[in-house]
Amino acid sequence: MAQLEITGLRQEFGRAGRTVVAIGGFDLAVEEGEFVALVGPSGCGKTTLLHLVAGFETPTAGTVVLDGAPIRRPGPDRGMLFQDFALFPWRSVIGNVTWGLEVRGLPRAERERIAERYLDLVGLAAFRDAYPSELSGGMKQRVALARVLAFEPRILLMDEPFGSLDAQTRELMQDELTEIWQRAPLGRKTVLFVTHDIDEAIYLADRVILFTARPGRLKRIVAIDLPRPRAATVRKSPEYTAYRNLIWDLLREEVLMSRAPSA
């Protein structure tokens, strides 16, 4: 059995007196420890899918099952990372990472031990006492990642986490995320990663899930057969270029459809 099973998923919203179908009849199975990227036109339901897995929303129809149990509400077994770092400016780096553990009632010594483990993992142990205003964008996102990992979730839900970073920092963060994912203390986490960047999806993922234009349906699954650990040089390989061309060819029609007046 797959760790995450999405079956017959449909999500509707009421908007301006009419019903908008965000996701229509979506099925997906994700194995434990798999890195899956979700790619598609704007408004196709990628973020909605993450919210349904997170338990922030209830599906109109269909099921979302994690580790054999239907998802009905948010829980610590799922960690969400947004494009906005959402750090508390008045708390230090370690204070931000320990915040969730503090809410859960863990003793101070234990929550600091856990936080230090993950700050070391993301390469920020030396900045434990710094404040968000003293950090770069990439460092802030690493703090946010450490905070999510400190909960030790079963699955990571990442919604364009590098979208607000400059191109150079974004590429470096992709390398760092790959490294962190591969050497996580409790083993590789299952990851659902939303992105509009085809190159990012290919570089990070085991599989790329292509959405149609709204209502979002599964158009194609592309398995990325590139060796791990991945290095930046793989971006220059003919195999990488072939994946990029294939995915863009598949998506181009959907992107154009999403821009049509009737979309």
pLDDT (0 to 100) of residue 83: 84
Across 116-129, average pLDDT: 93
What confidence score (pLDDT) does residue 180 get?
A: 86
pLDDT, greater one: 96 or 260: 96
Query: Per residue in 51-65, pLDDT tens?
Result: 999 999 999 999 999
The verdict on whether omega for the bond into residue 153 sits within 30 degrees of 0, i.e. cis, is no
What's the whole-number mean pLDDT along residues 115-121? 92
Question: CB under 8 Å to 128, separation ≥6 — which residues?
Answer: 92, 93, 94, 115, 116, 119
Check pLDDT > 80 for residue 238.
Answer: yes
Q: What is the mean pLDDT of residues 168-178?
A: 89
Of 59, 65, 60, nearest in space to 28 by CA: 65
Which whole number is the average pLDDT over 93-122?
A: 92
Percent of the chain exceeding pLDDT 90 equals: 73
Query: Does residue 103 contact residue 183 with C-beta atoms inside 8 Å?
Result: no
Per-chain mean pLDDT for the chain: 92
Amino acid identity at 137 = G
pLDDT the model gives residue 251:
94
Containing 169, the helix (H) or strand (E) segment is helix 167-182
Q: What is the pLDDT of residues 69-86, one digit of tens each?
A: 999 999 989 999 988 888
- In the chain, the domains with their CATH numbers are 1-75+155-166+188-263 (3.40.50.300), 78-152 (no CATH)
Give the pLDDT score at 263. Answer: 44
CA distances from 35 to 19, 50, 157, 189, 205 (A): 33, 14, 10, 8, 5
The model's pLDDT over 174-229, given as tens digits with 9 standing for 90+, comes to: 998 988 888 766 668 899 999 999 999 999 999 999 999 999 999 999 999 999 88
Amino acid 262: pLDDT = 54
Most confident of 16-25, 107-116, 186-195: 107-116
